[in-house]
Structure 1
């Protein structure tokens, strides 16, 4: 199965999850995140703001802010320029982009080398560090700027972990997965 077919298949499955089942899965993932070594030993956390049927990150963001962690979220600048990562102090710092995704209003950038852990979205992952994103290359371009010691952790539901994600030479491998 090529990347495009795999994206479509996984998205269909993810979009069809029952609301209650999603809440149960999201709750497990939340607990797995906040109890992870990478989370506990990080101050500057890069995390996506979940959208649609993605793993819910809103609870993690709220919990982290209440507990004194600094939260940085992506903001797409353009297809050519990629994305930046910007600090937020709450959901009031976010507005909907033209794609309906919550993005920061301000421009409190962080240098990539200051990020302690990065929690990454994706459509499919494998146990060898493979990640299938949405096809824009935004995360691959940004993740290569992080220092080598920054943990890159994919967040997903267990059905999104597959045997082998098709990878290109420019695709960045992740360090681990947190799932339900």
Structure 2
């Protein structure tokens, strides 16, 4: 299928999930993340902050466990700039103040800014992915631009509520392939 068709279909699927279903799947994804990833002192893990009313994966489970059990690991998130589809990255701690922007996205205020070169692992939001490691997001290209600036050693792991489709038909040659995608049922490695 084409990205536009997949985006429409998987947005509809997500809207049909209950809050309880998303919470249950988010817990399974968080548990699987910590089974597959052993944080190392000094690493920086970039996590998207969920728009919960859009039925996005609740990444707060991962963030809180990193803060509580791996305090030597830095947690970062981004502020999106719609005028040029870029992102600025900031460290967040339990004390970081967050405000919700006009699109419903929580964003840090007065946090320490970091560069892409400081990020070791990115948890990437997506709507659907294929068996080759390609993803379909919301279609604005924020993460495609961001991921292109990462060091080659940085890991890119998607989080998905849904299993993969066989193939996304209209993949662009410059589209980045994820290193892995974590679903409630299993982790797919690429």
1:133 and 2:137 are equivalent in the alignment? yes
**1:127 and 1:41, CA in 2 relative to 1: closer, same or farther beyond 3 A?**
farther
Structure 1 runs of 4+ aligned residues shifted over 3 Å read none
Tell me how many residue pairs correspond in the alignment: 178
Tell me the residue number matched to 1:105.
Answer: 109
The counterpart of 1:157, out of the listed 155, 161, 164, is 161
Query: Is the 1:124–1:131 Cα contact (8 Å) retained in structure 2?
Result: yes
Aligned partner of residue 79 in structure 2, secondary structure: strand
5+ long unaligned stretches in structure 1: none
Q: Do 2:22 and 2:56's aligned partners in 1 also have CA atoms closer than 8 Å?
A: no
Residue of structure 1 equivalent to 2:29: 29
1:89 counterpart (88, 93, 117):
93
- 57, 60, 63: which one aligns with 1:58: 60
- d(CA) in 2 for partners of 1:108 and 1:78? 21
Give CA deviations for 1:89-128 in whole Å, capped at 9, x if unaligned.
1375211111011111125221212111110001111121
Q: Normalized against structure 2, the TM-score is what? A: 0.86
Aligned to 2:2: 2
